[in-house]
A and B are shown apart, each in its own frame.
Chain A
């Protein structure tokens, strides 16, 4: 699933956002949702963050939610070279973001499968932080695909 969802145009190599809300907006922006859809998903992501940060620690966050306004599972990857305070479990800034959005009902539990695959990739990349070194979205995408295939 991860491999099917990972697309070059949905990989942001150098996030400009400075805080939590900005980064959620920046990640969402590449999905080209209608403004009312983007607003609904953003609110839902913020609600999810309010119950507990999806900053899972070691520089990684996996903001995620479900909403009927998207008709399929959507993945966006973003890297912040400077890091963003995401109120992570370990209190450290987040550099690597995996935004995952899915409809409430998705056939074949693709959302949970993808979430598991993201977690596997994240576990592999946190130690080296090599993901910070890439200059283009394509390079980062190919790196993540390589890690995914090895995971």
Chain B
């Protein structure tokens, strides 16, 4: 897999997890014994942000900026392509692209919405 795509996938996951931590529903679910304090959660969020920064530092700045713009617009920077369809804008990819045997070896974007794409199948 393209190493930049792999980092973008990791970044997307970390951003989603940061959003989860802001949800009370999430905190209650992972705190079933009520033994984790707000301070513990706060420390975990800080660690998550550090991990995010590490990933960001390893990305080319132009790609990170584009990722951020995509997240502002679509609330995500990477979308899966499932059965040849972009999960962000639902555009069907050209069959020539879908039928390629090798995918995810280079960084690609959706020709319609511009989001970075990960081919699931």
Q: How many interface residues does chain B have, given as a range? A: 35 or more
Q: Which residues of B contact A71 (CB under 8 A)?
A: 80, 82, 87, 120
Contact A66 B16 (CB under 8 A): yes
A-B contact count (CB 8 A): 101
Query: Can you name 28 A-B residue pairings with CB atoms under 8 Å?
Result: A40-B1, A40-B10, A51-B48, A52-B43, A52-B44, A56-B31, A56-B32, A62-B29, A62-B30, A64-B30, A66-B13, A66-B16, A68-B9, A68-B13, A68-B79, A71-B120, A89-B35, A89-B36, A90-B33, A104-B12, A105-B16, A105-B75, A112-B20, A115-B25, A115-B30, A118-B29, A119-B28, A119-B32
Which A residues are closer than 8 A to B by beta carbons? 36, 40, 43-44, 47-48, 50-52, 54, 56-58, 60, 62, 64-69, 71, 89-90, 103-105, 111-112, 115-116, 118-119, 122-123, 126
**What is the interface of chain B, defined by CB distance below 8 A to chain A?**
1, 6, 9-10, 12-17, 20, 23, 25-26, 28-33, 35-36, 40, 43-44, 47-48, 51, 75-76, 78-80, 82, 87, 104, 118, 120
